[in-house]
A and B are shown apart, each in its own frame.
Chain A
Amino acid sequence: MFLLLRDLRRARRDAALPRGPRGALQLRHVDAGSCNGCEHELGAASGPAYDLSRFGISITASPRHADVLLVTGPVTGGMRVALERAYEAMSEPRLVAALGDCALGCGPFRRSPEAAGRLEDVLPVDVRIAGCPPSPDAIAAGLIPLLDRRAGAG
């Protein structure tokens, strides 16, 4: 297992992301009808190769502790109330990030009669991270600038 550390170093170097602490950002993820692709990539972004936590960005278990609501999927009817409740549970200032093409309204499920079609029609969206699914690099690149923005807001 420790042999893998070598590969980890290589993978991190390949990711070519900026380094250095700039504060912290707590994310609450809500899956509002994704295909699980965004979840896999969000997991990868938090995993060993990209390791978002080294930028101070981590997933929190409760919306009450969250700075950012990170939403995937086209907002299905079955998830709309739960999503709105998670948003209401957050304290201000709060940001909403649309993760992936479905949440942005341009994914493969945009024509579904069972979904709102895009997050923007349900909650105010501050950050848009495109991709189907967005790569871990794209997720990191979309979230890291929020560290500065949150400092400004606070």
Chain B
Amino acid sequence: MPEVARAAGAARAGQAVVGPDLLRDEVAAVLASGGAVQALFAAAAGDGLEARYVCATPAGDLVLRCPAPRGEVPTIIDLAPHLAWDEREARDLFGLRFAGHEPHRPLVHHPGDLAAWATPVLGDDVHQVAVGPVHAGVIESGHFRFHTVGERIVHLDIQLFHKHRGLERVAEGGSAEEALATVGRACAACSVATGIAIAHAVEAARGLWPDDDLRRSRTLLAELERLYNHLHDIGAICAGVGLAPGAMAFAALKERAQRAIADLAGHRFMFGAVAAGAGAVAADRAAAGRARGALRELAPDVAAAWRSLLFDASLRDRARGAGALPADEARRLGTVGPAARATGVATDARERSPRLRYAGLRPAVPPGAEGDVAARMEARALELTDTLAMLDELLDGPVAPGHALPSAPPSAHGVGRAESPRGETVCAVELDGGAVRRVHLRTASFANWPAVARACRGAILPDFPLVNKSFELCYACVDR
């Protein structure tokens, strides 16, 4: 077993190596200090493997590295249950074993034998309904295995990773810029947030800090992404109950937002708008003013369309009480974003984003915060108001791309975060000179899929599309 050293307690930010025997103590210490283990992944280290734990502590970011001399480290899912998917992924992709995590059910790999990956659900009248990977509408590919009694969902096993493209492996060995181009494109609908997360990770490793212009231009892009996504997601919930007027109204609003975005940033999904080390988008006073004008025209129409939904009895009846996620379950499962705020858990990575421009932002928690479909919809509507107000301010004048400037000595490891429209996305990079040795992306969708399975427990099968749409998670940025 190689010699391992523990980091000095004072220097919490950065990285530390901890042996398998002390790993659980170290994780418990992070949790006791008020910190969180946000992601876990495996990496090759020398001839062996390492487990890595991305921690957010009150003193800053910490990457715990735990060597696995015999390909095994202790599980921590009893301490941090939300990392169950992370351990399953690390085992499938790297063969890293987690002692105590039994049974290991594959996540990335898809064994033909149902018993190998699905939860055994026994009892009278329990039957299974299998859906996907190809769905009836224009939907991403994924497989759902419902265990039901009659119409009632007892349990849901979600099998994703049909779209696994090995993006992290493709990115490794190349430059940080190439890694951003590859990993940042894990998903179209979150491409700005993912791009910002990996850009922040690279800049943190290089010891760079964004200047005011860069903070402003990236915040602008992130809020534009939130705008069109929230409009899309509210429309999708309407589609989930077959309310065509609501679905069409919000689809039209999303289209207007995306046209304004394309005019400003050159692309309807802002591909290529985030770079590492500098901004990649500029707008002169006229272009910023045009976008501001378009959004000022949009804002009252968004408010009017939302008011119409508030008075739509059929939508309210379907949305209220459907797919309720209790707040303590949201905490246990590590739920992020509007789905967490809809349960009353006031978490928003924008509050903790000194690399962006969010001074004074308060997480938008809807009154009541029942954690149901209605609350998830309302959380987005509240945020739309805030986002439109922020955008109005951010577009008050020309947009300069900005730069990231040296502020600290470079190191090998960097962690970056961004609040995507679906919640907090975390990215960790390990640099080796100019090249990326390892990059890991944990998106908000990855964090939230277990909450979808939990929220639909007890719901009737016909409500699943509605519950699913109310989270509106991506598959692409989970599968990578």
Residues of A within 8 A of B (CB): 1, 3-4, 7-8, 11, 29-37, 39-44, 46-49, 59, 61-62, 73-74, 76-79, 82-83, 86, 108-109, 111-115, 132-133, 135
B78 to chain A minimum Cβ distance, whole angstroms, is 30
Assuming the contacts A59-B138, A78-B161, A133-B188, asked whether A3 and B170 have C-beta atoms less than 8 A apart, the reply is no
Given contacts A37-B269, A79-B141, A114-B164, 12 further A-B contacts (CB under 8 A): A29-B137, A33-B163, A33-B479, A35-B191, A36-B475, A40-B189, A43-B138, A47-B252, A49-B251, A61-B136, A76-B479, A78-B163
- Inter-chain contacts of B308 with A (CB < 8 A): 1
B432 to chain A minimum Cβ distance, whole angstroms, is 20
Query: Once the chains bind, are A73 and B163 in contact (CB under 8 Å)?
Result: yes
A55 vs B110: C-alpha distance when bound (angstroms): 40
7 A/B residue pairs, CB under 8 Å, sorted by A: A4-B301, A7-B256, A29-B138, A31-B140, A77-B164, A78-B479, A79-B141
Query: Once the chains bind, are B476 and A1 in contact (CB under 8 Å)?
Result: no
- Inter-chain contacts of A39 with B (CB < 8 A): 138-140
Residues of B within 8 A of A (CB): 110, 133-134, 136-141, 161-167, 169-170, 181-182, 185-189, 191, 232, 245-246, 248-249, 251-256, 258, 268-269, 271, 301, 304-305, 308, 474-477, 479
Which residue of B133, B167, B477 is within 8 Å of A79 (Cβ)? Answer: B133
- Inter-chain contacts of A3 with B (CB < 8 A): 301, 304
A3 vs B298: C-alpha distance when bound (angstroms): 12
Query: Once the chains bind, are B140 and A49 in contact (CB under 8 Å)?
Result: no
- Inter-chain contacts of B138 with A (CB < 8 A): 29, 39, 42-43, 46, 59
- Inter-chain contacts of A111 with B (CB < 8 A): 170
| Residue in A7, A78, A86 whose Cβ sees the most chain B Cβ within 10 Å | A78
A104 to chain B minimum Cβ distance, whole angstroms, is 16
Query: Once the chains bind, are B137 and A59 in contact (CB under 8 Å)?
Result: yes
A146 vs B166: C-alpha distance when bound (angstroms): 35
Query: Once the chains bind, are A31 and B271 in contact (CB under 8 Å)?
Result: no
Query: Once the chains bind, are A4 and B249 in contact (CB under 8 Å)?
Result: yes
A30 vs B268: C-alpha distance when bound (angstroms): 22
Assuming the contacts A1-B246, A39-B139, A59-B138, asked whether A108 and B163 have C-beta atoms less than 8 A apart, the reply is no
Query: Once the chains bind, are A78 and B166 in contact (CB under 8 Å)?
Result: no
A4 vs B162: C-alpha distance when bound (angstroms): 38
- Inter-chain contacts of B249 with A (CB < 8 A): 1, 4
A61 vs B166: C-alpha distance when bound (angstroms): 29
Query: Once the chains bind, are A31 and B141 in contact (CB under 8 Å)?
Result: yes
B16 to chain A minimum Cβ distance, whole angstroms, is 32
- Inter-chain contacts of B251 with A (CB < 8 A): 43-44, 47-49
Assuming the contacts A42-B138, A108-B185, asked whether A76 and B255 have C-beta atoms less than 8 A apart, the reply is no
A113 vs B168: C-alpha distance when bound (angstroms): 11
A43 vs B188: C-alpha distance when bound (angstroms): 14
Closest to A133 in B: B188
Query: Once the chains bind, are A114 and B188 in contact (CB under 8 Å)?
Result: no
A77 vs B38: C-alpha distance when bound (angstroms): 29
- Inter-chain contacts of A29 with B (CB < 8 A): 137-138
A39 to chain B minimum Cβ distance, whole angstroms, is 5
A65 vs B251: C-alpha distance when bound (angstroms): 26
Query: Once the chains bind, are A61 and B137 in contact (CB under 8 Å)?
Result: yes
Assuming the contacts A3-B301, A40-B232, A79-B133, asked whether A35 and B476 have C-beta atoms less than 8 A apart, the reply is yes
| Residue in A3, A29, A35 whose Cβ sees the most chain B Cβ within 10 Å | A35
- Inter-chain contacts of A74 with B (CB < 8 A): 165
Closest to A86 in B: B134
Query: Once the chains bind, are B133 and A11 in contact (CB under 8 Å)?
Result: no
Query: Once the chains bind, are A62 and B139 in contact (CB under 8 Å)?
Result: no
Q: 5 tightest A-B contacts by CB?
A: A37-B188, A61-B136, A78-B162, A47-B251, A114-B166
Which residue of B169, B188, B252 is within 8 Å of A11 (Cβ)? Answer: B252
A76 vs B188: C-alpha distance when bound (angstroms): 17
A72 to chain B minimum Cβ distance, whole angstroms, is 9
A46 vs B139: C-alpha distance when bound (angstroms): 13
Assuming the contacts A40-B232, A48-B255, A78-B164, asked whether A32 and B141 have C-beta atoms less than 8 A apart, the reply is yes
A61 vs B248: C-alpha distance when bound (angstroms): 20
| Residue in B136, B188, B258 whose Cβ sees the most chain A Cβ within 10 Å | B188
Assuming the contacts A1-B249, A30-B134, A86-B134, asked whether A11 and B140 have C-beta atoms less than 8 A apart, the reply is no
A82 to chain B minimum Cβ distance, whole angstroms, is 5
Which residue of A36, A41, A82, A113 is within 8 Å of B140 (Cβ)? Answer: A36
